[in-house]
Amino acid sequence: MQKKRLLYITYEFPPAGGIGVRRAINFIKYLSLYNVETIVLTNGHNLGRLVDEDGLYSLNVKTIKIVRLGGKQLKKYNTFRNVFGKKYHPYYYYLGVKYVWFMDVFSSWFFEVKDELMKIVYEEDIDCCLTTGPPHSTHFFGRFLKQKTGLPWIMDIRDSFINDAERKKTPVNVIQNIFCKYYEKQFCDFADLIVTVSSPMIHNMAKRTGINIEKKSNVITNGFDPEFFNKSGHYENKKLVITYTGTFYQKITPKVFLNALDKLIKTKRINKDDLLLNFVGDFPSYINKWLNDFSHHVAINTPGQVSYQSALEYQKKADILLLILAPVEGRHAAEILTGKIFDYMGSRKTILGLVPKGPLKKLIENAQLGITASVNDVDDVAEKLEMLYNMWKGKRLVYNPNQEIVNRFTAKNLSKQLAAVVHSLCQK
């Protein structure tokens, strides 16, 4: 099979971190096994909400060309928001108004870089391009190259253009959604192939856009790289260690879990001295206050934001991994298959998932990864938590997943799927 050269366009890339970055790393690391050579185009200032210094070390950077260009305006934006922690600043409104017609402020990256794109495509002898979002304005790169060169374009969609359950509905967001709907339809029309992380996402996009995209869509979920977890050992904890890694914001909070645990402690169905809770991540101040107040009832460790590798260590040393999603139902809930589930899957520890009905709940149950509970039901969460506690006390808390299902989500298998898509498009 002849080798193909893929231009992988992603706003965030190591040393930036996050689930979207991890998806890119997992693909790029293994695509070369299937005759796909990757050239990465990312912003020129290492911009991103999170930091993952380990990310590049997991790649053989000597064999992967990384082109870092643009992002000057967003560097200033990032400095105000993420370095100085300013929630409001006149510069945000300046960028917002300037680029409101182009979905989001991150579209400024495209306009800074677009004049260099043709040079990259021809000098690197690119056969195919892939754009990944959010930010969904990254797909302007794909549309531009498709229009100018006819280059096969894969649009990778990790989260919905519209149905973001974690976002508050503000006038700005309402306006943005109008433009998002417009460009979503345009992008779906131009893209040669659409990759999403769940089947319902394809169905909902087709319904919104009125385009029969099912014929040119593939589901390639997020996954995990077993190499990161090969050193997982068996840890004998003196306490029941429950660990949460990730973020809390807006509708995603530990409130229901803490209320359920408080109920179990007060009714003496759980001995608080048996527990240690780890909440690992960079949380808003009000979440930290909740956790600090609750630490008077039970031992809680809040180390703050740590490296990706350190977060995995917390997961591997846990007895139970806590997963919490926003309390949503309906169309958006049906799309959610958060990337965090795959890190938890690789850690090989029992999951307690506070999740809505949808593909995530089905995956946890079908793959026997743990137990699910209703996101908003304190009594249901208390019942499931007590069940796991009693299993731990009786030394019956054993992780025994359906390995056939788990193996489908390894980075190597998912990269093989993406490579097949690339080769198929390049042969047309």
Q: What is the DSSP string of 187-253?
A: HHHH-SEEEESSHHHHHHHHHHH---GGGGEEE----B-GGGTTT------SSEEEEEES--BTTB-
Alpha-carbon distance of 52 to 71, in angstroms, equals 19
Q: Are residues 27 and 164 in the same domain?
A: yes
- Given this model, what pLDDT does residue 314 score? 95
Q: Are residues 215 and 255 in the same domain?
A: no
Number of domains comprising the chain: 2
- Given this model, what pLDDT does residue 58 score? 61
Q: How far is CA 75 from the centre of its chain?
A: 22
422 compared with 237, residue with greater pLDDT: 422
- Given this model, what pLDDT does residue 46 score? 74
The H or E element containing residue 409 is: none
Q: Are residues 291 and 306 in the same domain?
A: yes
Q: Are residues 155 and 9 in the same domain?
A: yes
CATH of the domain at 393: 3.40.50.2000
Q: Are residues 129 and 56 in the same domain?
A: yes
User: Per-residue pLDDT tens for 85-99?
Assistant: 666 777 766 777 777
Domain range for 324 is 227-407
245: left (phi over 0), alpha (psi -120 to 50) or beta: beta
Order of strands across the sheet with 128-133?
A: 65-69, 36-43, 4-9, 128-133, 153-157, 193-196, 217-219
Give the least confident one: 29-33, 50-54, 319-323, 347-351.
50-54
User: Per-residue pLDDT tens for 353-402?
Assistant: 999 988 899 999 999 999 999 999 999 999 999 999 999 999 999 999 99
User: Per-residue pLDDT tens for 115-140?
Assistant: 999 999 999 999 999 999 999 999 99
The pTM of the full predicted model, rounded to 2 decimals, is 0.88
91 compared with 413, residue with greater pLDDT: 413
Classify residue 1 by burial, with Cβ atoms within 10 Å: 0-12, 13-18, 19+: exposed
Q: Are residues 195 and 56 in the same domain?
A: yes
CB atoms within 10 A of CB 385: 25
User: Per-residue pLDDT tens for 5-16?
Assistant: 999 999 999 887
- In the predicted model, what is the mean pLDDT of residues 311-336? 81
Q: Are residues 157 and 234 in the same domain?
A: no
Q: Are residues 402 and 421 in the same domain?
A: no
Residue 60 has pLDDT above 80, yes or no: no
Q: Are residues 259 and 374 in the same domain?
A: yes
CB atoms within 10 A of CB 51: 19
User: Per-residue pLDDT tens for 269-306?
Assistant: 999 999 999 999 989 999 999 999 999 889 999 999 88
Mean per-residue pLDDT of the chain: 88
Q: Are residues 12 and 136 in the same domain?
A: yes
